[in-house]
Amino acid sequence: MRHEDEGTPAETKAQNTPADAPETASTGDASPEDPEPEPEPDPSPDSSPDSAPDSSSPTPEIGEHRAPDSHLGLLDVEEQVSKVVLGEDDVTAGAPLPISTFAKLLSALATFAALVAASYLIPLEWAQPWRAGEDYVPYWNVIGRELMGQGAAADADADAAAHMAALAERAVDEVVDPVAEREVVDPPPDSEGGARYPDYAAHALDPDPAELERAIENPAALAPFYEALTRTDLGYAGALTRVGHWGDSVLGNDGITSAIRRRMQARFGDAGHGFHALERYDASYRHQNVRFESAGAGPWELCFIRNRCMKTDGRYGYGGVTVWSTGGAASEFETPSKGPVGLRISDFELWFMRRDKGGKLRVRIDGGPDRGGSEVVVDTALSEAQLAQGLEKVDAWERIELEDGPHRVEVRAGGGGLVRAYGVVLEREGPGVVWDGMALIGAFTKRLGEFDDAHLHDQLEHRGLDLMVFTFGGNDMTRADLRETMDPYVEDYAAVIRRFRQARPAAACLIMGPVDHGERVGGRVVSREIVARMTTAQREVALAEGCAFFDTLAAMGGDGAVARWKSESLMSGDLSHPSFKGHALLGAMVYRALMAGYVDFRRAQAGQPMTTQPEPAQPD
């Protein structure tokens, strides 16, 4: 099945339409004081009990007693009442109604109050409408909130929710047109006393500091990233700034990552979509601004790091999933025909493994030679020299240069033995930014510790990342060992960060805190208490391990944000995952925070020596 997301995906909204309720009419019974009924007419010879009465028969006035056989039925005719006349004994004009009129109502209310009181006296907790310590109070919105002076707080919540909704609408409408091409200049040579940071010139896409939802904490940790962004910003030829962003299902459907990617590429240049796996390992793994489909005779076999199914070698690949086939499986990638970014590529790179007796991978460009394109055959077998060294598995890459423009590329297992691969990269020469999104759906944070250390080093070094971003925690909120303390989580997350930083020391590190999660308590949506504790734990890890930190919970509005976001359809019904608009807003928030830090960095560095060439990646 082909998946395509060329621009801003349409948002699907579920509508619940209640069934039409039948209209009912009420008819009063005849009173004993009604006049005596008229004599029944003689039935006609051909009439029957089921026959309708003769339309010529006189019809009693509304309110008069009707003979049994003169009724048409309760719903057979429309009832019409011209006036109602009360008898003298019914009520005295101008006099108050007697208390007996309300006897049944008062009796029902007294019975209800007695039952409620009994639930506390016995006690019966399951029957109590309110218990001590609960936020929910019956009829609070109607009476109690105003009496206790909390109406202003509720109005403030409503205003905050409306503000977030307005920001989300703006975020969805931003960066919808194709981004402009960058002017390319040759970088000056690095020499002692040579290149220096120029004064920063404000850009139209710079955020307004007054509108910043949340600033980056410990921004000094992002210096390597901002240095790379400076070279890209100055338009140096080949200046690519690469970011790898790992996360759990909050990154599903490329929502947050695509929102950041579009803004970064609109600001600094479109350097391509970046990394993409060779198979969809989860229904929520789909990327925006690139076409992808499984096109082979059969699917790829795969192993996803969440399942810890490669314990023998720990080689899950850069994106956390590895695939293999002995022949027939294929994947097809194509640049979209419209949209703001990803319309052109000039480099296609295949990530795979060399192994003993490895088979062939066929890469067909624009339909292959038969359709005016080309084909590259990649042999995944180990070389004689590698076998002589005793090597069994070696990570490898095949880079194919293309004319800058739209392209369609197919990767197919070509037989001749088993092939194993990790994914592909779609890029341009730059200057520009690439923001790789790796959504590890359903994964706990510590699953990133399943990578083999040497394999992880080779993958990250080859990618040449300038920034590594981590957005985890949603699945970890279910861990039983975190109910009393966050110490086990701090230990797990710190170990993951250390492994990634050791694998790519030149890259900066950013931890993006968890989004607010909610639960329903007494009919209200409230934030889960573990969200604040996990945010604190992740901040502790970030600062201890030399990473920057973005407080997502605070940016969303702090405690209770999930309820406000849900009221404006920015949060899905599970109270754990943002909606499409929520993803767009979160991505815009992260972008603005990063750009505010970049502006501060550039202004602080003006006149200081700078490196015009990136640090070279280690040879593969």
- Among candidate residues 238, 241, 240, 244, the one with its CA nearest the CA of residue 257: 244
Q: Are 550 and 511 contacting, i.e. CB atoms less than 8 angstroms apart?
A: yes
The mean pLDDT of 140-167, rounded to a whole number, is 71
**Helix axes 223-233 and 580-605, enclosed angle (nearest 10):** 90
| Mean pLDDT of the region 92-114 | 74
Question: Where do the H-state alpha helices sit in 122-186?
Answer: 145-147, 151-173
pLDDT per residue over 480-530, tens digit each? 999 999 999 999 999 999 999 999 999 999 999 999 999 999 888 999 999
Write the CB contacts of 373 (distance below 8 Å, at least 6 apart in sequence).
364, 365, 366, 367
Spatial distance between the Cα atoms of 517 and 602, rounded to a whole number of angstroms: 36
Instruction: Give the chain's mean pLDDT.
Output: 84
pLDDT at 11 over 80: no
> How far is it, in rounded angstroms, from Cα 187 to Cα 348?
25
The average pLDDT across 23-41 equals 39
Torsion of CA 121, 125, 126, 128, to 10 degrees: 60
CA distance 497 to 353: 25
Please state which of the ranges 50-59, 82-91, 252-261, 517-526 shows the lowest mean pLDDT.
Answer: 50-59
pLDDT at 73: 42
Output the CA torsion sign for 74, 77, 79, 85: negative
Q: Quick one: which of 147, 620, 567, 165 has its CA closest to 353?
A: 620
Residue 409: what residue type? Answer: V
Task: Give the pTM.
Answer: 0.78
Count of helix runs (H) and strand runs (E) in the chain? 12, 19
Measured between alpha carbons, how far is 273 from 245 in angstroms, rounded to an integer? 13
**61 vs 86: CA distance, rounded Å:** 17
Query: What is the per-residue pLDDT for 193?
Result: 60
Between CA 485 and CA 462 the distance in angstroms is 38
pLDDT of res. 45: 37
| Residue 601: C-alpha distances to residues 84, 594, 605 (Å) | 83, 10, 6
CA distance 606 to 196: 7
Q: Which two tokens stand for residue 177?
A: 């047109």
pLDDT at 364 over 90: yes
Token pair listed for 292: 């992808």
* More confident: 356 or 77: 356
DSSP state at residue 177? S
Measured from the Cβ of residue 152, the count of other Cβ atoms closer than 10 Å reads 10
Residue 112: predicted pLDDT: 84
Report the share of the chain in percent with pLDDT over 90.
Answer: 67
SS3 labels along 1-69: CEEEECCCCCCCCCCCCCCCCCCCCCCCCCCCCCCCCCCCCCCCCCCCCCCCCCCCCCCCCCCCCCCHH
Buried b (16+ CB within 10 A) or exposed e, 566-601: bbbbbbeeebbbbbbbbbbbbbbbbbbbbbbbbbbb
* Average pLDDT over every residue of 33-41: 40
Q: Give tens-digit pLDDT for 339-352.
A: 999 999 999 999 99
pLDDT digits (tens, 9 = 90+) for 252-292: 999 999 999 999 999 999 999 999 999 999 989 999 999 99
